[in-house]
């Protein structure tokens, strides 16, 4: 049996970032990932980073390419009822947001882990966690055809929404909170010049649309679709036509179309598990919570969980502060719930709900009007969008 200090299940952004941070401080980790490296690095997902996430990536030593290639935005636009409203993030909240693809972060972290000679095992199957309620957790798995076992001090469940870690906690020890939305996002990525310098979110009578980007030559676009929609029914041409109809006319006139590199539909969901800790198991990122993508909070919440767990473990190993372990879940959940609230609220503000009546629609319109026409409303949006502060660990 091999011993290590922290076993990390999942090599998504949460798992790799935690491993990278701990390793730099001399805390030994082994990362177990179900998928192949190629698969993990090809997934196209998030693109918008809060300053706290950027700072953490820099602290982890993986900020160099990010700082060279990223796009920094001072604001974003919201279009509804035929009008466009700019949210001046810098002016209202004193912060900017950064565009840099999750795919690139995944590559940067993967390269850094490889360069450090870390123990990172892709294509590990049948991962199972044991005895994490006590002092000596064990993790079993199959790697390269051989059954293996690890003993550790702590297990970090960084294995996403469908992972094994959350599912291993006794059902009566946790409570889950969930909301499923009656639509999804159809997203494409294409090597075309972005339609605008900043992001444009639109609430149109045909449904939500978002114009985003990955670089000055690569665009990311989304449209709200019904849950019954199939990606095979959406040719590139049909997608571009639908997008054009939903965004403001002058923006549509500038739209450059081209063949999609990827096209997929993601359902929208809000989900939280409480607590995010059971014994020596800590749930991190999407393993503990899911947000609908509207507020761009998923990856950013994963980063703030990682920051909290990293700082706690550092003090546990350096100062023997085991009392801090119990602080992980309450610290994370305070920030998680605020991001859950904002993501839920932005989703409500910007989408067309199939089951809404005339009253509900008027309430949505008056929310749009109030929040974009008062300093308090605009500041509330800006403050949440740029990311709420991380709580210090005392
Ligand atoms: P994941 O990325 O899900 O990683 C979990 C890893 O664990 C995976 O590699 C998985 O293969 C592995 N795993 C699972 N089960 C096992 C097992 N049993 N054994 C071993 N390994 C296992 N967030 C933002 O902040 N901004 C955005 O703009 C944004 N846009 C998004 C757009 C889309 C279309 C989608 C789908 C998501 C978006 N998100 C966004 C959310 C963001 O991508 C996620 O929150 C983020 O990937 C969470 O990282 P994670 O490492 O916690 O989980
Ligand atoms: C992106 C996704 C989001 O959900 C969002 O709010 C902003 C940007 C993106 O993929 O670029």
**242, 223 in Cβ contact below 8 A?**
yes
Q: Specify the ligand 2 atom closest to the Cα of 187.
A: 10
pLDDT at 43: 87
Q: Name the H helices within 247-291.
A: 249-254
User: How far apart, in whole angstroms, are the C-alpha atoms of residue 236 and residue 350?
Assistant: 24
Q: Checking DSSP bridges between strand 2-3 and strand 146-151, what pairing results, if any?
A: parallel
Nearest CA to ligand 2 atom 11: 47
Quote the tokens at residue 233: 């029914």
User: How far apart, in whole angstroms, are the C-alpha atoms of residue 34 and residue 121?
Assistant: 8
pLDDT at 394: 82
Strand order in the sheet with 218-225: 83-88, 75-80, 200-204, 207-215, 218-225, 175-190, 260-274, 289-290
User: How far apart, in whole angstroms, are the C-alpha atoms of residue 57 and residue 108?
Assistant: 10
Q: Checking DSSP bridges between strand 207-215 and strand 154-157, what pairing results, if any?
A: unpaired
Nearest CA to ligand 1 atom 52: 285
User: How far apart, in whole angstroms, are the C-alpha atoms of residue 153 and residue 132?
Assistant: 9
Q: Name the H helices within 194-235.
A: none
Q: Name the H helices within the chain.
A: 13-24, 37-42, 51-59, 64-69, 89-93, 102-115, 165-168, 236-246, 249-254, 298-319, 328-350, 358-373, 375-386
User: How far apart, in whole angstroms, are the C-alpha atoms of residue 57 and residue 62?
Assistant: 5
Choose one of 199, 211, 268, 269 to mutate for the ligand 2 pocket test, by most ligand atoms within 8 angstroms of C-beta: 199
| Whether pTM exceeds 0.85 | yes
Give the Å distance between the CA of 99 and the centre of ligand 2: 9
Residues with CB under 6 A from ligand 2: 46-48, 199, 212, 220, 293-296
User: How far apart, in whole angstroms, are the C-alpha atoms of residue 273 and residue 329?
Assistant: 10
Indicate the burial class of 376 (C-beta count within 10 angstroms; 0-12, 13-18, 19 or more). Answer: exposed
Neighbours of 257 (CB within 10 A): 18
3-state secondary structure of 131: coil
Distance of CA 132 to the CA centre of its chain: 26
Give the Å distance between the CA of 45 and the centre of ligand 1: 8
Give the Å distance between the CA of 195 and the centre of ligand 2: 15
Choose one of 20, 30, 31, 34 to mutate for the ligand 1 pocket test, by most ligand atoms within 8 angstroms of C-beta: 34
Residues with CB under 6 A from ligand 1: 9-15, 32-35, 40, 45-48, 102, 124, 127, 158-160, 162-164, 187, 266, 285-286, 293, 296-300, 302
User: How far apart, in whole angstroms, are the C-alpha atoms of residue 60 and residue 17?
Assistant: 7
Give the Å distance between the CA of 296 and the centre of ligand 2: 5
- Write out the catalytic residue numbers: 73, 201, 293, 297, 385
Distance of CA 22 to the CA centre of its chain: 21
Give the Å distance between the CA of 302 and the centre of ligand 1: 9
3-state secondary structure of 234: coil
Quote the tokens at residue 218: 């690569």
Backbone angles phi, psi at 330, to 5 degrees: -60, -40
pLDDT at 27: 98
Return per-residue pLDDT of the chain as tens, 394 residues: 899 999 999 999 999 999 999 999 999 999 999 999 999 998 888 999 999 999 999 999 999 999 999 999 999 999 998 899 999 999 999 999 999 999 999 999 999 999 999 999 999 999 999 999 999 999 999 999 999 999 999 999 999 999 999 999 999 999 999 999 999 999 999 999 999 999 999 999 999 999 999 999 999 999 999 999 999 999 999 999 999 999 999 999 999 999 999 999 999 999 999 999 999 999 999 999 999 999 999 999 999 999 999 999 999 999 999 999 999 999 999 999 999 999 999 999 999 999 899 999 999 999 999 999 999 999 999 999 999 999 999 8
Quote the tokens at residue 19: 């491993």
pLDDT at 68: 97
């Amino acid at each position: 049996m091999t011993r290590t200090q922290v076993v990390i299940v999942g090599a998504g952004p949460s798992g790799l970032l935690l491993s990278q941070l701990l390793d730099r401080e001399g805390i030994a980790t082994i990362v177990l990932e179900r998928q192949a490296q190629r698969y993990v690095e090809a997934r196209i997902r998030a693109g918008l980073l809060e300053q706290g996430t950027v700072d953490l990536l820099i602290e982890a030593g993986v900020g160099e390419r990010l700082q060279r290639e990223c796009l920094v935005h001072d604001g974003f636009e919201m279009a509804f009822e035929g009008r466009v409203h700019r949210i001046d993030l810098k002016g209202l909240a004193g912060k900017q947001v950064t565009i840099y693809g999750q795919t690139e972060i995944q590559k940067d972290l993967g390269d850094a882990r490889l360069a450090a000679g870390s123990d990172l095992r892709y294509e590990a199957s049948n991962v199972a966690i044991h005895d994490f309620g006590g002092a000596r957790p064990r993790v079993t798995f199959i790697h390269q055809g051989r059954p293996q076992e690890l003993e550790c001090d702590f297990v970090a469940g960084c294995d996403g929404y469908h992972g094994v870690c959350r599912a291993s906690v006794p059902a009566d020890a946790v409570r889950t909170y969930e909301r499923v939305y009656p639509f999804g996002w159809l997203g494409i990525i294409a090597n075309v010049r972005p339609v605008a310098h900043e992001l444009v979110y639109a609430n149109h009578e045909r449904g939500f649309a978002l114009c985003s980007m990955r670089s000055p030559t690569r665009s990311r676009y989304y449209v709200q679709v019904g849950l019954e929609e199939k990606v095979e029914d959406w040719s590139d041409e049909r997608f571009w036509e639908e997008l054009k109809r939903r965004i403001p006319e002058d923006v549509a006139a500038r739209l450059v179309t081209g063949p999609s590199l990827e096209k997929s539909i993601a359902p929208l969901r809000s989900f939280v598990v409480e607590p995010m800790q059971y014994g020596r198991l800590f749930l991190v990122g999407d393993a503990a919570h899911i947000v609908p993508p509207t507020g761009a909070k998923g990856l950013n919440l994963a980063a703030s969980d990682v920051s909290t767990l990293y700082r706690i473990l550092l003090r546990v190993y350096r100062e023997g502060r085991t009392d801090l372990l119990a602080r992980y879940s309450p610290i994370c959940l305070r920030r998680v719930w605020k991001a859950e609230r904002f993501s839920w609220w932005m989703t409500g503000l910007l989408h067309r709900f199939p089951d809404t009546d005339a009253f509900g629609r008027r309430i949505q319109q008056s929310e749009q009007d109030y929040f974009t026409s008062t300093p308090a409303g605009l500041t509330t949006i800006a403050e949440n969008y740029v990311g709420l502060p991380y709580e210090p660990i005392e």
